[in-house]
Amino acid sequence: MDASALKTSASDALTAFLQHLAGERRLSLRTVDAYQRDISGFVAFLTGHLGEAVSLQTLSEVSARDFRAFMAARRKTGLAARSLAREMSALRSFYTYLERRWEVSSTALLLVELPKVPRSKPKPISETAARDLVEQVGERDVPDWVAARDVAVLLLLYGCGLRISEALSLTGRDRSLGEGLRVTGKGGKTRLVPVLPNVAEAVRKYAALAPFDLEPEVALFRGVRGGPLGPRPVQKLVEDMRLALGLAPSATPHALRHAFATHLLAHGGDLRAIQELLGHASLSTTQVYAEVEADNLLKLYDKAHPRSQG
């Protein structure tokens, strides 16, 4: 690395990194702000820890011991393991950028073991709640095509296990669903998802009522002004229905995808088949649904078994 570049301040390097995130990687302002906070906090720690202004030279000489001292200091503030893991991930991204642009090594950071983050369990809604939610959505006092649209979207989440982004990425060519739907999910991975007759019928009903030309190349689901339907209206819809039905705060659009997996498993579905339907790269990701179902069975056992009645 050029000797003059070593004198570049950490602040200037961070500014360049944030511009890279916003410009080249096109991350949201909220995400860029989070990177700025996390990395600025690390630079401030180094300034006090080393007793000097932080430059690229300083960043290139940070040892694994220094990184561990930073983690220890953050833990002392009461920072949760999940938040600390996020900060360390931000630092790794920052150092990857520094290495690519200025040849600043990130080897020491790679030697540091990240905090263990407990895996959170999905919170599916019950079969009754899922049915009531879809029924209530279809009975609102809104234009028929809007009600049909919202029912179709929710049934794609619950009946096919789609992510909300996957459902909203469907185009006009998907208006007449057959027995299977080809979906491109995270990482560009494509999977074939079976389509239940009532799901296909809901989509066809919406397409027939929609007051727009649903060309093959444009978004299938539209907002009231004709533009592509975004995720926020769907989230707000489920939030309103959740309050109306007295459901838990965990009842979100994504909870319908969780419910799809959990209810399939409860009715004898094979875990590996569910992995394929959900588009999970690893079986361990899907395994958590088996844990949820086991927990539910234990709760039913505790509630119903004669010995639990005291």
Exactly one of 173, 186, 189, 272 is catalytic; which is it? 186
- Give dist(CA 288, CA 294) in Å, integer: 10
Q: How far is CA 244 from each of CA 43, 85, 137, 239, rounded to the nearest angstrom?
A: 48, 37, 11, 9
188 and 236 Cβ atoms separated by less than 8 Å: no
- Give dist(CA 109, CA 114) in Å, integer: 10
130-144 burial: b if 16+ Cβ within 10 Å, else e: bebbbeebbeeeeee
270: Cα separation from own chain's centroid = 24
289 is catalytic: yes
66 and 90 Cβ atoms separated by less than 8 Å: no
**Residue 30 amino acid letter:** R
Q: Which residues pair with 182 in a beta bridge?
A: 192
- Give dist(CA 121, CA 25) in Å, integer: 30
Angle between helices 197-209 and 144-160 (to 10 degrees): 150
7 is catalytic: no
45 and 62 Cβ atoms separated by less than 8 Å: no
Q: Which residues pair with 194 in a beta bridge?
A: 180
123 is catalytic: no
303 is catalytic: no
Exactly one of 149, 163, 205, 263 is catalytic; which is it? 163
30 is catalytic: no
Record the tokens describing residue 129, joined without a space.
């709640």
Record the tokens describing residue 164, joined without a space.
């909300």
280 is catalytic: yes
Active site residues: 163, 186, 254, 257, 280, 289
